[in-house]
């Protein structure tokens, strides 16, 4: 990692491994939140901060100024402090320019208060990563359907993706123009600091020959619902894919008087179909969806989610299963 000493990284990783209870706790980030570890680990290290009222506001979008500050502290281990004059992030901006994260042409200072997009996040992450040997670069880039040699910062996007810092989406896009929430950005910085948290694409970007669906889920035709009927939608499934970045679905856990549920934000829920728990290559439970007033959905369950391998989302229109890696598995 450019300009980040091996000593600093070793200290950070040792500290990360030592934490079982986080020193910083926010009123709006519970232990069941998908981003809990990233937010609290980065807060304990002084890389990110919450608000004076004790909140973190994980759903708020991140500005250029905020992301540049996080990136600079994560890379250098130093906080240059807010500017005494002008905009508060001017000092971090100037330091980032000196460190060659970007030029003033790439990111004008006038953008500091605006929401940063994923393309510019990739640009900054790429600069901090420094020289990285990306095997099968062309194949990796071809696998991202909305990125080509004509895309601005296409090399930096591909490098950040190949390194597992910024992941893509289930439709094989990167969405370079999209913004990220504060929680998602904390996860990006967490992956930068701790390589064990990175989500790498398939080896070299080359997918191995997939197993037949009936080997991935062995009880497609024999899973019974609570009513005692064979799950006809599941038995009609034809194709599947894996998504190893379960954290990006922003699931949170809840429990009230013995009733447990997974909560999906409305923005995520709209893209998911019927949901099941998959453990050891078998569907073990159909999640019972309960609509909420704000349009999001809670899915009730009985199985201990910490033992589950995947949350399977079945799109009944095209009989396709998305196997989402369980972010809560111990």
DSSP string, 44-103: HTTSS---TTS---TTSBPBHHHHHHHHHHHHHS------SSSSTTHHHHHHHHHTTS--
Task: Determine the average pLDDT of the residues in 103-131.
Answer: 96
- Residue 295 is predicted with a pLDDT of 61
Q: Residue 223 in 3-state DSSP?
A: coil
Residue-wise pLDDT tens digits, 286-301:
988 776 666 667 888 8
Domain stops at, among 170, 205, 240: 205
| Joined tokens for residue 280 | 């050891």
Cβ–Cβ < 8 Å for 247, 34: yes
Confidence of residue 1 (pLDDT cuts 50, 70, 90): low
Residues contacting 10, CB < 8 A, separation 6+: none
- Token pair 């990167």: residue: 174
246 shares a domain with 145:
no
Q: Tell me the average pLDDT across 92-113.
A: 97
Q: How many CB atoms lie within 10 A of CB 325?
A: 17
Count of Cβ atoms closer than 10 Å to residue 193 Cβ: 22
Structure tokens at 82: 């807010």
pLDDT given at position 65: 97
Among 158, 173, 205, identify where a domain stops. 205
Place of tokens 């934000």: 265
Backbone angles phi, psi at 243, to 5 degrees: -130, 110
Same domain membership, residue 167 and residue 21: yes
pLDDT > 90 in the chain, percent: 43
Both 70 and 147 in a single domain? yes
Out of 205, 233, 256, a domain closes at 205
pLDDT, position 264: 85
Residue 68 has pLDDT above 90, yes or no: yes
Comparison of pLDDT for 137 and 156, the residue scoring more: 156
- Residues 150 and 278 grouped into a single domain: no
Query: Are residues 192 and 225 part of one domain?
Result: no
Residue 297, in any domain of the structure: yes
- Domain assignment present for residue 330? The answer is no
245 part of a folded domain: yes
Domain that holds residue 85: 6-205
Q: How far apart are CA 174 and CA 168, in angstroms?
A: 5
Confidence of residue 2 (pLDDT cuts 50, 70, 90): very low
Distance CA 223, CA 279 (A): 13
- Are residues 159 and 30 part of one domain? yes
Output the pLDDT for position 296.
67
pTM: 0.65
Q: Are residues 99 and 223 in the same domain?
A: no
DSSP assignment letter at 263 = E
Residues 49 and 139 in one domain: yes
Q: What is the mean pLDDT of residues 299-311?
A: 90
Residue 212 pLDDT grade (very low, low, confident, very high; cuts 50, 70, 90): confident
With a CB cutoff of 8 Å and minimum separation 6, the contacts of 198 are 163, 164, 165, 191
- pLDDT band of residue 36 (cuts 50, 70, 90) is confident
CB 134 within 8 A of CB 204: no
pLDDT of residue 210: 64
Distances in Å between the alpha carbon of 219 and those of 25, 77, 213, 223, 283?
Answer: 42, 50, 10, 6, 7
Residues 37 and 180 in one domain: yes
- The Cβ of residue 15 has, within 10 Å, a number of other Cβ atoms equal to 13
Residues 6+ apart with CB under 8 A from 316: 233, 236, 273, 274
Which carries the bigger pLDDT value, residue 258 or residue 38?
Answer: 38
Query: Do residues 10 and 123 both lie within one domain?
Result: yes
Q: How many CB atoms lie within 10 A of CB 67?
A: 25
pLDDT confidence of 5, banded at 50, 70, 90?
very low
Whether 201 and 232 map to the same domain: the answer is no
Number of domains in the chain: 2
Question: What is the rounded average pLDDT of the residues 268-289?
Answer: 88
Length of the chain: 330
- Which of 95-104, 237-246, 307-316 is predicted least confidently? 237-246
Q: Do 217 and 306 belong to one domain?
A: yes
Q: Residue 13: is its pLDDT beyond 50?
A: no
């Amino acid at each position: 990692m450019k300009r980040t000493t091996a000593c600093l990284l070793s200290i950070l990783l040792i500290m990360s491994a030592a934490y079982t209870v986080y020193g910083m706790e926010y009123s709006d980030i519970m232990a069941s939140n998908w981003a809990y570890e990233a937010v609290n680990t980065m807060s304990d290290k002084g890389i990110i901060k919450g608000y004076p009222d004790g909140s973190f506001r994980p759903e708020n979008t991140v500005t250029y100024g905020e992301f540049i500050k996080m990136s600079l502290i994560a890379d250098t281990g130093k906080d240059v402090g807010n500017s005494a004059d002008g905009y508060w992030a001017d000092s971090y901006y100037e330091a980032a320019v000196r460190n060659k994260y970007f030029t003033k042409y790439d990111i004008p200072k006038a953008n500091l208060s605006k929401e940063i997009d994923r393309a510019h996040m990739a640009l900054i992450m790429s600069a901090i990563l420094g020289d990285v040997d990306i095997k099968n670069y062309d194949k990796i880039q071809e696998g991202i359907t909305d990125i080509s040699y004509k895309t601005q910062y296409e090399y930096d996007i591909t490098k950040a993706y190949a390194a597992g810092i910024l992941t893509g989406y289930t439709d094989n896009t990167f969405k370079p123009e999209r913004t990220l929430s504060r929680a998602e950005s904390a996860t990006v910085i967490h992956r930068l600091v701790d390589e064990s948290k990175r989500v790498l694409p398939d080896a070299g970007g080359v997918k191995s020959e997939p197993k037949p669906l009936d080997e991935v889920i062995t009880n497609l035709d024999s899973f019974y619902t609570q009513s005692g009927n064979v799950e006809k939608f599941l038995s009609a499934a034809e194709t599947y894919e894996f998504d190893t970045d379960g954290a990006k679905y922003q699931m949170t856990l809840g429990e009230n008087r013995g009733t447990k549920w997974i909560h999906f934000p409305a923005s995520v829920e709209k893209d998911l179909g019927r949901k099941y728990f998959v453990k050891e290559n078998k569907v073990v439970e159909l999640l019972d969806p309960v609509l909420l007033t704000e349009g999001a959905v809670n899915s009730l369950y009985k199985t201990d989610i910490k033992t589950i391998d995947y949350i399977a989302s079945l799109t009944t229109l095209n009989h396709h299963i998305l196997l989402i890696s369980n972010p809560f598995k111990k």
